[in-house]
Amino acid sequence: MLICREVGEAMSIKLYDLVGHDEKRPFSPHCWKVAFALAHKGLEFESVPARFRDIQSLEDGASRTVPLIRDGEQVISESFRIALYLDEAYPDLPPLFKGEGTVPLTRFIERWAHQTVYAQIARMILGDLFAILDEGDREYFRKTREARFGQKLEDVPVGREERLPAFRASLDPLRSMVERQAFIAGEEPCFADYIIAGGFQWARVSSSFQLLETDDPVAGWFERCLDLYGGLARSIAAAA
């Protein structure tokens, strides 16, 4: 990933990318979806580090969440909307969605990813996420997450080892696809792959907790995702 904040790089797209205390380690799953998508299109981009408390002032308060991109005059938020924008704005570059009919089906897979994969990962890595945050973001994070989970932050991951079998079983739809082919759509990845890979990269960057057994076909698929685009996602070392 280019981490580049020099003035005068007007041609490249800016991706406002959530980081913790180490601004070279973007960790947001939704931002990773967009990083994968930009690389898939072959578009140059700069990852602009942002902390939770910065988000509201980015691009004159254009969004309450990241990812947020600036592409010339265009400012777009939300990963799925950004992916749609990229295919529309750059129709001659490799498509993220192969045909209009794939958009709602990819949305379905996104909902599955968020409600099943992300939700379970979040519970397991919440303490690790808190630990990588910048000091100034911690109060906000604790307050919002404790409200969301209805529990003290430290209690949410308790018992995570016992939840692993159910988590791994819930990946069966993905597993049954990628045990026979490289990516969900076949030999080439599509946006659905990036949606799910974003979740695993989130865990990889923020936590050393081992979500997958190494011989799991899902682990093999994620390794292939890490290899994509010159090792874009692998260039951030796994959390130790």
Which residues make up the interface to its own copies (CB under 8 A)?
97-102, 104-109, 111-112, 115-116, 172-174, 176-177, 184-186, 190, 192
Closest by CA to 124, choosing from 52, 8, 30, 208, is 208
Residue whose pair of structure tokens reads 């299109």 in the numeric block: 41
d(CA 43, CA 70): 13
User: At closest approach, how far in Å is the CB of 127 from its own copies?
Assistant: 25
Distance of CA 54 to the CA centre of its chain: 19
Structure tokens at 226: 């890490």
- Given the complex with its own copies, which of 42 and 186 has the nearer CB atom? 186
- Given the complex with its own copies, which of 21 and 98 has the nearer CB atom? 98
Whole-angstrom CA distances from 36 to 17, 229, 231 are 13, 8, 11
- The DSSP bridge pattern shows strands 45-50 and 74-77 to be unpaired
User: At closest approach, how far in Å is the CB of 83 from its own copies?
Assistant: 14
User: At closest approach, how far in Å is the CB of 95 from its own copies?
Assistant: 8
- Given the complex with its own copies, which of 23 and 188 has the nearer CB atom? 188
User: At closest approach, how far in Å is the CB of 133 from its own copies?
Assistant: 28
- Given the complex with its own copies, which of 2 and 105 has the nearer CB atom? 105
Structure tokens at 74: 């265009």
